[in-house]
């Protein structure tokens, strides 16, 4: 949170205002506005700001539609009529596209002080800057990602999957649960794919296809960032039910052969989780169950994943 500016001007008749008074007044209202933006509206794109690749003689550029965003400090970033960026970087690679807030003095607003011949700007212009960067910019609002090839050419268009939309900030506990689910989903997808590389089985297997489809859809939902605690619980319940069906199915193939040995720790974890599943639909009970279950599932997926990685590398060495 920026420095507190919680003092308003208290005017009275005959009071002489100075530049300090007016600056303090502006600071007060800017501070209040930024607090509202950060903690009530959220950080990210509010509306518009869709980037599109356009070809120019200097190289590919981006055209951005008009729109509005809020940065991490609560500043309003307004693009009133759309804009075009400078050409994309001339070094091939992956880049994030950022809008950053900036202020400049308006040269057209210069005015002479009553007791001096010096002329100074009387207005500040609130502007923005479009930039490309390989790493996060703390106060930047990401509006897309691109891959640049030789000749300053963008390949594959603009990736909008990681654009953060401005929403009211969620409780810290919910954010932690979301991160844990994402961690488990990532570990499970890697475990899943490595198991099939080891076994050389087709991914078209029905049980495998249903589980992988569930994992992918859950990953997409997590990226959308628009989930309530109840929706997150429903998602995790669905994932556990689907994974249990998958593990029950491959278990029938025999303990000493097939995929089951690679998912043995996950099977034990899922079985225990399902046994402890609350019979009540009360949200606090379900959240507690989910929080404890995630710790076990992340550990199980990580262990199975390491076992498969060892087997996979041994087979490659042979």
Largest Cα–Cα distance of the chain, in whole Å? 94
Distance in Å from the first CA to the final CA of the chain = 58
Residue 46 sits at φ, ψ, to 5 deg, of: -90, -50
Same domain, 131 and 2: no
Per DSSP bridges, beta strands 83-84 and 119-121 are: unpaired
Same domain, 219 and 195: yes
**Residue 15 domain-assigned (yes or no):** no
- Considering only CA atoms, which of 291, 296, 298, 235 is closest in space to residue 269? 296
- The tokens describing 14, both together, are 């005959």
**Residue 244 domain-assigned (yes or no):** yes
Q: Any residues with CB less than 8 A from the CB of 58 and at least 6 apart, and which?
A: 87, 152
Same domain, 31 and 133: no
Give the CA distances from residue 235 to residues 69, 83, 139, 296, in Å, rounded to whole numbers and listed in that order.
30, 39, 32, 17
Same domain, 308 and 271: yes
Same domain, 206 and 298: yes
Same domain, 200 and 311: yes
Q: What is the pLDDT along the chain (318 residues), one digit of tens a residue?
A: 556 778 888 989 999 888 899 899 999 999 999 989 988 888 899 999 999 999 998 889 999 999 999 999 999 999 999 899 999 999 999 999 999 999 999 999 999 888 888 888 999 999 999 999 999 998 999 999 999 998 889 998 999 988 988 877 656 667 777 788 888 888 787 777 777 766 656 554 666 777 777 787 777 777 666 677 888 888 888 888 888 888 887 776 555 566 777 788 888 999 999 999 998 888 889 888 988 888 888 888 888 877 775 554 444 333
pTM of this structure? 0.58
Same domain, 285 and 223: yes
d(CA 295, CA 279): 21
**Residue 164 domain-assigned (yes or no):** no
Same domain, 119 and 235: no
Give the domain extent around 282: 172-317
Q: Where are the alpha helices (DSSP H) in the chain?
A: 19-36, 172-199, 206-224, 229-251, 264-275, 283-317
Q: How many domains does the chain have?
A: 3
Same domain, 67 and 106: yes
**Residue 166 domain-assigned (yes or no):** no
**Residue 167 domain-assigned (yes or no):** no
**Residue 165 domain-assigned (yes or no):** no
Same domain, 213 and 133: no
Q: Which of 137, 159, 181 is a domain's end point?
A: 159
Sheet of 44-48, strand order: 44-48, 67-70, 76-79
Cα 85 to chain centroid, rounded: 23
Q: Would you report the helix, strand and coil content of the chain in percent, each value rounded to 5?
A: 45, 25, 30
Same domain, 302 and 190: yes
**Residue 240 domain-assigned (yes or no):** yes
Under 8 Å between Cβ of 86 and 123: no
Q: Which of 131, 159, 187 is a domain's end point?
A: 159
**Residue 199 domain-assigned (yes or no):** yes
3-class DSSP string for 156-206: EEEECCCCCECCCCCCHHHHHHHHHHHHHHHHHHHHHHHHHHHHCCCCCCH
Same domain, 142 and 91: yes
Neighbours of 46 (CB within 10 A): 20
Q: Which of 159, 182, 217 is a domain's end point?
A: 159
- The tokens describing 44, both together, are 């990210």
């Amino acid at each position: 949170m920026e420095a507190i500016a919680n003092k308003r001007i208290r005017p009275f008749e005959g009071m002489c205002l100075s530049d300090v008074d007016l600056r303090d007044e502006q600071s007060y209202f800017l501070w209040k506005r930024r607090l509202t933006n950060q903690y009530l509206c959220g950080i990210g794109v509010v509306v518009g700001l869709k980037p599109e690749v356009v070809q120019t003689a200097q190289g590919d550029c981006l055209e951005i539609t008009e729109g509005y965003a809020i940065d991490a400090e609560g500043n309003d970033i307004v693009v009133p009529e759309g804009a075009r960026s400078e050409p994309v970087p001339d070094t091939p690679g992956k880049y994030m596209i950022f809008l950053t807030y900036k202020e400049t003095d308006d040269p057209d607003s210069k005015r002479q002080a009553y007791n001096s011949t010096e002329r100074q700007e009387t207005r500040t212009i609130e502007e923005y800057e479009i930039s490309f960067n390989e790493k996060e910019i703390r106060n930047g609002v990401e509006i897309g990602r691109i891959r640049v090839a030789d000749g300053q050419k963008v390949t594959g268009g603009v990736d909008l999957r990681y654009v953060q939309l401005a929403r009211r900030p969620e409780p810290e506990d919910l954010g932690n649960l979301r991160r844990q689910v994402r961690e488990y989903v990532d570990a499970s997808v890697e475990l899943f794919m490595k198991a099939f590389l080891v076994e050389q089985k087709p991914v078209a297997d029905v049980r495998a296809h249903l589980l992988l489809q569930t994992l992918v859809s859950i990953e997409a939902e997590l990226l959308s960032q628009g989930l309530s605690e109840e929706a997150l619980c429903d998602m995790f319940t669905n994932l556990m039910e689907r994974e249990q069906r998958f593990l029950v199915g491959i278990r029938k193939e025999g303990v000493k052969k097939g995929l089951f040995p690679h998912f043995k720790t996950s099977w034990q974890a899922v079985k225990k989780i399902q046994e402890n599943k609350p019979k009540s639909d009360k949200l606090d009970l379900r959240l507690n169950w989910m929080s404890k279950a995630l710790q076990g599932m992340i550990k199980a997926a990580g262990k199975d994943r390491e076992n498969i990685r060892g087997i996979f590398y041994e087979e490659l060495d042979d």
